[in-house]
Amino acid sequence: MDAITTDPGMVAELRDGAQRLVRDKTDHRRTRALRQTLPGYAPEIVEQFKALGWFGILVPEVDGGIGLGIAEICAVLGELEKGLLAEPLLALGTLGVRTLVHCPAGALRGALLGEAAAGEILPALALDYDEAPGTVTAAPDRDGGFILNGCNRSVAGAAGASGFIIPASSAEGLQLFWLEAGVARLEAGWLADSTPRGSITLDHVTIPTACRLAGPGEAPAALAVALDETRLAAAASLVGLCEKMLDITVEYLKMREQFGQPIGSFQALQHKTVDLYIQKELAVATLANALDLAAADPGQLALAALRAKYRASETAARIGREAIHLHGAIGFTDEYDLGLYVKRAMVLNAWLGNAAVQRGRFVEMGLALQ
Amino acid sequence: MRDWNAMSDEEFRQAAIDFINQHCPADLRYREERPRFEESRVWYLAMAAEGWLAPGWPVAYGGMGLKQSKHLIYLEEWTRNGLPRVMEQGVLNIGPALIANGTEEQITEFLPKIFTAEHLWCQGFSEPGAGSDLASLRTEARIQGDEFVINGHKIWTSGALDANHIYVLARTDKDVKKQLGISFIMMDMRQPGITVKPIVTMAGDAEFAEVFFDNARAPLKSLVGGLNKGWTVAKSLLGFERVWAGSPHMGRSAMDQLVQLAILTGKATDPVTLDRIAQLQLDLADGTAMYERLAQELRQGHSFGFEVSTLKIMATETYARITELLVELAGERGGFAGEVAFGDGHSGVLRAFLSARTPMIYGGTVQIHRNMLTKGVLGLPG
CATH number of the domain within which A137 lies: 2.40.110.10
Residue A2 belongs to some domain of the structure:
no
**What CATH number should be reported for the domain holding residue A331?**
1.20.140.10
- Reading phi first (left if > 0) and then psi (alpha if -120 to 50, else beta), residue A148 is in beta
Residue A370 belongs to some domain of the structure:
no
Check residue B203 and give its pLDDT.
85
For residue B382, the chain A residue with the least C-alpha distance is: A265
Classify A279 as helix, strand or coil. Answer: helix
Classify A103 as helix, strand or coil. Answer: coil
Residue A239 belongs to some domain of the structure:
yes
The boundaries of every CATH 2.40.110.10 domain in chain B are 119-228
- Do A179 and A204 sit in the same domain of this protein? yes
Q: Is B241 a catalytic residue?
A: yes
In terms of residue numbers, what domain contains A145? 124-216
- Do A273 and A354 sit in the same domain of this protein? yes
Q: How far is A41 from chain B (nearest CA, A)?
A: 33
- Do A224 and A360 sit in the same domain of this protein? yes
Q: Mind listing the pLDDT tens digit for each residue in A124-155?
A: 999 999 998 889 999 999 888 999 999 999 99
Q: Which of A166, A190, A216 is the last residue before a domain boundary?
A: A216
Q: Is the pLDDT of residue B31 over 80?
A: no
Q: Does B370 touch chain A (CB under 8 A)?
A: yes
Chain A (159-198) residues lying within 8 Å, Cβ to Cβ, of chain B: none
Nearest to B279 among A278, A282, A359 (CB): A359
Q: Does B111 touch chain A (CB under 8 A)?
A: no
Q: How far is A156 from chain B (nearest CA, A)?
A: 28
Q: How confident is the model at residue A2 (pLDDT cuts 50, 70, 90)?
A: very low
Check residue A5 and give its pLDDT.
58
- Do A65 and A172 sit in the same domain of this protein? no
Classify A125 as helix, strand or coil. Answer: strand
- Do A190 and A174 sit in the same domain of this protein? yes
Please name the residue ranges forming H helices in chain A. 8-25, 28-33, 43-52, 70-80, 87, 97-101, 107-117, 219-255, 267-296, 301-327, 338-350, 355-364
Do residue A274 and residue B282 have CB atoms under 8 angstroms apart?
no
Q: How far is B23 from chain A (nearest CA, A)?
A: 28
DSSP A164: E
What is the rounded CA–CA span in Å between residue B183 and residue B142?
11
Residue, of A104 and B301, whose pLDDT is higher: A104
Q: What is the dihedral of CA B173, B175, B179, B182, to 10 degrees?
A: 10
Residue A301 belongs to some domain of the structure:
yes
Q: Is the pLDDT of residue A258 over 50?
A: yes
Nearest to B259 among A310, A359, A369 (CB): A369
Q: Is the pLDDT of residue A1 over 50?
A: no
Check residue B205 and give its pLDDT.
80
Q: Does A267 touch chain B (CB under 8 A)?
A: yes
- Average confidence (pLDDT) over B273-291: 96
Check residue A145 and give its pLDDT.
94
- Do A103 and A150 sit in the same domain of this protein? no
Residue A199 belongs to some domain of the structure:
yes
Do residue A359 and residue B381 have CB atoms under 8 angstroms apart?
no
Residue A1 belongs to some domain of the structure:
no
- Average confidence (pLDDT) over A305-327: 98
Question: In Å, what is the CA distance from A2 to each residue of A61, A92, B25?
Answer: 11, 20, 51
The boundaries of every CATH 1.20.140.10 domain in chain B are 246-376
Nearest to A253 among B259, B380, B382 (CB): B380
- Average confidence (pLDDT) over B339-344: 95
Residue A12 belongs to some domain of the structure:
yes
- Chains A and B: how many Cβ contacts under 8 Å? 96
**What CATH number should be reported for the domain holding residue A43?**
1.10.540.10
Domain B119-228 has CATH 2.40.110.10: yes
- Do A298 and A273 sit in the same domain of this protein? yes
Q: Mind listing the pLDDT tens digit for each residue in B72-130?
A: 788 878 877 888 888 889 998 899 899 989 999 999 999 999 999 999 999 999 999 99
Chain B (217-276) residues lying within 8 Å, Cβ to Cβ, of chain A: 259, 262-263, 268, 271, 274-275
Q: What is the dihedral of CA B221, B225, B229, B232, to 10 degrees?
A: -150
What is the rounded CA–CA span in Å between residue B316 and residue B366?
8
Q: How many domains does chain A have?
A: 3
- Do A37 and A112 sit in the same domain of this protein? yes
Q: Does A255 touch chain B (CB under 8 A)?
A: no
Q: How far is A309 from chain B (nearest CA, A)?
A: 11
Least confident interval from B7-11, B94-98, B160-164, B245-249: B245-249
- Do A240 and A348 sit in the same domain of this protein? yes
Q: Which of A59, A88, A121 is the last residue before a domain boundary?
A: A121
Phi first, then psi, for residue B280 (nearest 5°) are -70, -35
Provide the sign of the torsion angle of the four alpha carbons A217, A221, A223, A226, taken in this order: negative
Nearest to A281 among B262, B290, B371 (CB): B290
- Do A353 and A226 sit in the same domain of this protein? yes
Averaged pLDDT of chain B: 91
CB neighbours of residue A105 within 10 Å: 8
Closest alpha carbon to B103 in B259, B219, B265:
B219
CATH of domain B246-376: 1.20.140.10
Active-site residue, selected from the candidate residues B241, B307, B317, B339: B241
Residue, of B369 and B363, whose pLDDT is higher: B369
- Do A128 and A106 sit in the same domain of this protein? no
Residue A204 belongs to some domain of the structure:
yes
- Do A359 and A237 sit in the same domain of this protein? yes
